[in-house]
Structures are given as structure tokens and as C-alpha cells.
Amino acid sequence: MEKNRETDGAERLADAGISAVSGDEMEKMSGESGTERAAAGAGQETGREPRPGGERREGRMEDETAVQKQERASLPGESRQERPEGMSGTYEEAAGGENGPQRRPDLYGTAGQYEAEQRERERVRAERLKPLQTNFAYFSRLSLFFGLAYTFCLYKNPAGITYPLFVLAACVCGVLACRKLGCPIKRGSWFLLAAALALGIGTCRTAEWFLIAVNGLALVLLGCVFGIHQFYDDDTWNLGKYFSSILLYLCHALGQAAVPFQHFAAFSRQREHGKTRRVSLFLGGLLAAVPLLFVLVWLLGAADAVFSDLVHGLFQTGSWLRPFTLLHLFFMTAFGFLAMYCLICCSLLRPLKPETADRRHGEPIPVLACMGSVAVVYVVFCAIQIFYLFLGKGRLPEGYTYSSYARQGFFQLLFVAILNLIMVLCCLKYVRPDRVLNVLLTVICACTYVMLASAVYRMCLYVQVYHLTYLRLTTLWFLAMTAVLLAGVTLLIWQPRFPLFRFGLAVVTVFYAALVWAKPGEILGWDYVHHMDRGEVTAKDMRYLVYNLSADAAPAIASLELTREEAEDLGLWPAAETGLPEDWEEKSETPDGAAGGGGQDTAAGSLPNAWMQSYYELHAGKNYRSMGLRNYNFSLAKVRALIPEQP
């Protein structure tokens, strides 16, 4: 019995994670425990508090020995006060209670599973990035080329003739990267590349800075769509899936910023005794020479005036050799390098979920009741539009004329048309397919077309009275684009597999590229000039043409043929500003010391459009005041051509 009892005790200790001890050690521990109990009794006699936990319980030892403490200290969260994460209660409670079976709880199952999953994710990640790491030399050169093209083309040049060259370089880098990775260019990707080139060319044709900024954002979105379309099967993706994927794609690309440095370190270790080592030593020598050259140039410049003038000429304002300019160029190149490399990493890792969940689980009956009521109201409203607005029949409310009736309610109709698109798309995404519901949605789309036609008609009547503005022009453009998009939504009602996102992307891209190439500023300028009285040009007219419109309107403004004096009388610029090119200023003096050339200056100032130099400086900004080959902009060059030549 005693042997069996010792065996059971050893098994319980083993279950609790504590190694069994020999009989001699048990006697020694029993002696130590008895000594501790005697000390506890002595403490009671002397009035001291006995140590808690000194009572024995049946079936187990109550006092922790040195061996038990060491074993229990090796277990995480063993203290009665500390609770392991995910456990409630103390260790004894987790093990079955104070008098229950002493079994070690499964504390490491979840952690072990997490570590295994983490190792599997790291393995998959390394496997997917292996083509990039193996061909690091190729992709690093490709990314460096992109960074250099980005720096050379766009440094202080957001709208020059090099902008389409940068877009072309980006397209070439994307195609070469896909082919190196064994990913053939898909059919839809060529359209994206052509659209990017069209926007790039349109950028250097306009001086509308708002459109130039939007062009940059549009090119980033087209690049993301290109990467997603190349490495994912996006045939069944809807609008929401694509928009969220673009955002996640950019976020994951930002998260790969450390990968190029990791691949470079691995590449350096592989080529430690080759060309990489020599390049590293050379770069280290260049860095060490920077402070030495700084001191030497300063000393030699102080020693010789000619050398000092040469150095100051190299580092003058506008020179690419200035330290801050070099630093700016370096960061632009590094940004372009990292952007290209990280986008390639994100494309290989494929962090997006390719599948699209079917969420058409909604009950169609309440939706039928709601959409049916809306359809009835729309049919009545559209009948009124056709009878009163388009046909001009019927009796209007008191106090209204047909012109005043037609010119109101435009923005309300535009808002309702957009709301109809949202309602139809939500029904198609969240409600179970139903033929009656499809009929109602088709009726709503047809009524939306009538509303769009009514809105266009009202806006055209409004423009005839109050002329075009930037908002009115872009609103008409948006209405035309919405009408084409609505056709795709109508097809989606009866053909659920219709690629609405691709259709919408093509429509929006074509319409936006057409808007950029049309140059809205020029259209607005000619429209305003044609409707104004050229014999009575007011200051209000010129302020609108000069300050509210971009430099694209310069040909229309130049058609007014205002002289410098007339421009000053209209309050465009102070009289102190001549508005003439710098080489027109007479710098010679007459023999008697009086300033000469006054007659020429007066004659030049009386020339038509002599003030266009000040107009050019106003719209060009400091980056384009001295236009060269790299920052050549067609719209600004047209303004310079309008400045009269020196007589």
C-alpha cells in the first residue's frame, strides 16, 4: 500500500510538471518541513504570526520545498496572484481545484499553433519573394532607372514636356517587371497603359493646375489597377471590392519598405568577394572625401578670387550642385526606387483575397414594396417633365414663366440621379435575385434617364442666360458621363456577370482624358469673350478672365488686344510694373545724363498685349518663368508667343 501510495504521488507530481524525488530526499524534505513547523510553533509562542500555508492537507504536501519552488518557478504564471493569459482563476483552479486532480493545464497549445502558422506564413512569403530576391540585380537596376526618371522628369517640373516621358518610363518598367516574373501582359492592361500615356501628354498641354494635380492621382490609381489586374483574377470583382483592394494594395506596398534593404543585404553576402565589395569600398571612399573636399574648397576659395567666383557660380541659386538641391534629388531618387520595388513586392505577395463573397441574401419582398413606391413617384414626375418641360404644354403655377421654370431644380435632379444609381447597385448587391425587382429597377433607370435629360435641358437654358462657368461646364460633363455609366448599370440588372468595374473604369478614363485634352480654361475664356461687349471692357470682366481662369484662356484674352495703359486703367497691375520683357528695358543713357529710350518704352507699352508678360509670370510661377526644353509646357509657351516682339 505504501509503495502504491508513493507511486500515485509521483504520478500526480509528474502530471503537475514536477519531477519525482527519491525516498532519502523525501525524508530530508520531511525533516526540513518539520523544522519549519517547529519554527512556526515557536513563532506562535513568541507572539509572531505563523507563516501561512503551514497546514497539511490529505494526499499532498502543503509546504513548498526548495525543489518544488524551483520547478514551479520554471512554469509561467505559476503564482497564485498571476494568471496566465486566457485563464481565469489561479493555477490550482485551472488544474482542477485545490483537492482535484493535479493536472498541468494546456497553456501552450494555442501559442504553438500560432508559432506554426507564423512559420508557415514566413515560408510562403519567402517562397513568393524568391523570384525577386534571386533576380535582385535586375530589379534593383529597374527600380533605380524608375527613380532616376522620376527625379529627372519631375524635379520642380510638374507639367513639363518630360511628364509624358516619365509616364512612358513607368509603363516600360511595369511591362519589363511583369515579363521577368513570367506574368504575360493581359489584354485589359494595354488599355490602362494607353490611358496613362494619354493623361501624361495631356498634362504638358494644359496650365490648369487643378487638373494637373488630379492627373497625378489618376496615374497612381491606374498603376494600382494595372498591378492588381496583372496578378489577380478580377473578372468577378465588383466596385466595392476593387476600391477596397486599391486601398489595401497601397497600404501593403508601404509595409514592404524594409524588403529592398533585406534583399540588398542578402545580395551583398552572396557577392562579398566580387564586384559588390569593390563598389562598397568606392562609395565609402567618396563619403570620406566629402568633408575633406569641403575644407579644401573653402581654403582654396579664400586663397584665389577667380577660383572663388567659379565655386560660387557652380553653387548659385538654381544650380543642381547646391547641397540642398543634391539632397532633394537624392531623396526623390530613393523614393522612386523604393516605390517601384515595393509595388513589385506587393504584387508578388498577393495579400488581397481573390474571392468575392456573394451577399445577395436580403429578402426581396420589403425591397419590392419600397422600390415599387419609388417607381410610381418617378413615373409621375417623368410624365410631368415630358409634358410641361419638353413639350411646353400644360398650365404652370402662378408667377412662373417657362424660362424661370426650366432654370430651377437642376442640382436637385442631379442629386436624385446619383441617389438612384446607389439604390440600384445596393439592391443588386444585397437582395436575392427576383424578376419583378429587376423590372422595377429597370423602370427606375429609365426614369433616371428622363431626369438626366431634364437636368441637361435646364442647365443649357441656364447657360444661355448666365454663360458658362467652370462648375457648369464640369457639371454638364459629369451628366454625360453619368448617362453612359447608367447604361452599364442597366445591363448589370439583367446580366449579373457584366464587368461593371471595367466598364466604369473605361468610361471614366475616356471622359476624364477628353476633359483634360479639351482644356476647360480655354473653352470658358472664348465663351466669355464672345458674350462680352469688346467696346466696353470692364475691370470685373478682366479680373474674371485673368485671375479666375488658367493660362489656357490666354488666346481668348489676347483677342481683346488691350495695351499696357488700358490694363493698368482696369486695375490689373500697378503702373510701376511695365509688363514688358526684361530685354526691352533701356539701360543706356543720353550724353546729358538723362535716361534714354523713353520714347521706345512708351511706344512698346502702347502695343497690344504688351502686358501679357506680367500675365505669364502670374500663371507660370517660379518654376516656369525661364522655360527650357525640360520644363516646356505647350499652354505656357502659347502665352509667351502672344507677347509682342521687341520693335
Cell 489618376 belongs to residue: 218
Burial class (CB in 10 A: 0-12, 13-18, 19+), 532: middle
Q: Do residue 234 and residue 325 come from a single domain?
A: yes
Q: What is the DSSP letter of 551?
A: G
Distance (Å, whole) CA 132 – CA 128 = 8
Q: Do residue 333 and residue 428 come from a single domain?
A: no
With pLDDT > 90 as the criterion, what percentage of the chain qualifies? 35
User: Which of 148, 129, 74 has its CA nearest to residue 333?
Assistant: 148
Residue 285 covered by a domain:
no
Give the pLDDT confidence of 188-219 residue by residue, as tens digits. 899 999 999 999 999 999 999 999 999 999 99
Distance (Å, whole) CA 237 – CA 222 = 16
- Inter-CA distances, 370 with 172, 364, 366, 459, Å: 52, 10, 6, 31
Q: Do residue 218 and residue 313 come from a single domain?
A: yes
Cell 509528474 belongs to residue: 14
pLDDT of residue 327: 87
The three-state secondary structure class of 390 is helix
Distance (Å, whole) CA 185 – CA 188 = 8
Tell me the backbone φ, ψ of residue 569, rounded to 5 degrees. Answer: -65, -30
Q: Domain tally for the chain?
A: 4
Reported for 27-35, long-range contacts at CB under 8 A and 24+ positions apart, including other chains, are: 29/61, 29/65, 29/67, 32/65, 33/61, 33/63, 33/65
The 3 state secondary structure assigned to 313-331 is HHCCCCCCCCHHHHHHHHH
pLDDT of residue 458: 82
- pLDDT of 13 above 60: no
- pLDDT of 37 above 50: no
- pLDDT of 1 above 70: no
- pLDDT of 525 above 50: yes
- pLDDT of 157 above 80: yes
Cell 436575392 belongs to residue: 432
Cα dihedral sign for 444, 449, 452, 454? Answer: negative
Q: Do residue 195 and residue 341 come from a single domain?
A: yes
Q: Show which of 517, 536, 571 is a domain's final residue.
A: 517
Residue 250 covered by a domain:
yes
Q: Show which of 517, 541, 561 is a domain's final residue.
A: 517
Highest average pLDDT, of 41-55, 97-111, 292-306, 442-456, comes from 442-456
Tell me the one-letter amino acid at 294.
F
User: Which of 301, 267, 277, 273 has its CA nearest to residue 135?
Assistant: 267
- pLDDT of 50 above 70: no
pLDDT of residue 337: 96
Residue 647 covered by a domain:
no
pLDDT of residue 73: 47
Q: Do residue 424 and residue 455 come from a single domain?
A: yes
pLDDT of residue 340: 95
Distance (Å, whole) CA 22 – CA 18 = 13
Give the pLDDT confidence of 349-372 residue by residue, as tens digits. 888 877 667 778 888 899 999 999
- pLDDT of 296 above 90: no
pLDDT of residue 10: 47
Give the pLDDT confidence of 386-400 residue by residue, as tens digits. 887 777 665 556 666
pLDDT of residue 110: 64
Distance (Å, whole) CA 13 – CA 402 = 98
- Inter-CA distances, 413 with 407, 409, 425, 509, Å: 12, 6, 19, 25
pLDDT of residue 101: 47
99-103, 414-418, 494-498: segment of lowest average pLDDT: 99-103
Residue 92 covered by a domain:
no
Mean pLDDT of all residues in 95-106: 46
- Cell numbers at residue 264, please? 540588398
| CB-based contact 631:624 (threshold 8 Å) | yes
pTM (global) more than 0.85: no
Query: Predicted confidence band at 85 (pLDDT cuts at 50, 70, 90)?
Result: very low
Give the pLDDT confidence of 553-594 residue by residue, as tens digits. 999 998 888 888 888 887 776 543 444 334 333 333 333 433
Residue 89 covered by a domain:
no
pLDDT of residue 196: 96
| CB-based contact 231:183 (threshold 8 Å) | yes
| CB-based contact 53:46 (threshold 8 Å) | no
88-92, 102-106, 328-332, 629-633: segment of lowest average pLDDT: 88-92
Query: Predicted confidence band at 539 (pLDDT cuts at 50, 70, 90)?
Result: confident
Tell me the backbone φ, ψ of residue 635, rounded to 5 degrees. Answer: -70, -45
Helices (H), 408-434: 410-430
Q: Show which of 67, 83, 99 is a domain's final residue.
A: 83
Q: Do residue 397 and residue 470 come from a single domain?
A: yes
User: Which of 116, 107, 113 has its CA nearest to residue 17?
Assistant: 107
Query: Predicted confidence band at 27 (pLDDT cuts at 50, 70, 90)?
Result: very low
Residue 258 covered by a domain:
yes
- pLDDT of 41 above 70: no
User: Which of 425, 445, 479, 429 has its CA nearest to residue 375?
Assistant: 445
242-246, 271-275, 381-385: segment of lowest average pLDDT: 271-275
Q: Do residue 541 and residue 623 come from a single domain?
A: yes
| CB-based contact 368:431 (threshold 8 Å) | no
- Inter-CA distances, 355 with 54, 348, 360, Å: 64, 17, 15
Distance (Å, whole) CA 443 – CA 460 = 26
| CB-based contact 616:552 (threshold 8 Å) | no
Residue 140 covered by a domain:
yes
Distance (Å, whole) CA 226 – CA 249 = 11
Cell 497601397 belongs to residue: 250
- Cell numbers at residue 136, please? 535582385
Query: Predicted confidence band at 406 (pLDDT cuts at 50, 70, 90)?
Result: low
- pLDDT of 528 above 50: yes
In the chain, the N- to C-terminal Cα span, in Å, equals: 127
- pLDDT of 417 above 50: yes
Q: Do residue 512 and residue 549 come from a single domain?
A: no
pLDDT of residue 146: 96
- Cell numbers at residue 265, please? 543585404
Query: Predicted confidence band at 16 (pLDDT cuts at 50, 70, 90)?
Result: very low
Q: Do residue 550 and residue 508 come from a single domain?
A: no
* Overall size of the chain counted in residues: 647
Query: Predicted confidence band at 461 (pLDDT cuts at 50, 70, 90)?
Result: confident
Query: Predicted confidence band at 92 (pLDDT cuts at 50, 70, 90)?
Result: very low
Residue 613 covered by a domain:
yes
Tell me the backbone φ, ψ of residue 57, rounded to 5 degrees. Answer: -115, 155
Q: Which domain holds residue 583?
A: 522-588+596-642
Q: Do residue 182 and residue 134 come from a single domain?
A: yes
Which stretches of 141-224 are assigned E, i.e. beta strand? Answer: none
pLDDT of residue 49: 43
Q: Do residue 261 and residue 139 come from a single domain?
A: yes
Average pLDDT, the chain: 77
Mean pLDDT of all residues in 287-300: 80
Mean pLDDT of all residues in 304-328: 74
Work out the angle at residue 162's Cα, subtended by the Cα atoms of residues 158 and 163, and round it to the nearest 5 degrees: 50
More confident residue, 8 or 162: 162
Q: Do residue 140 and residue 183 come from a single domain?
A: yes
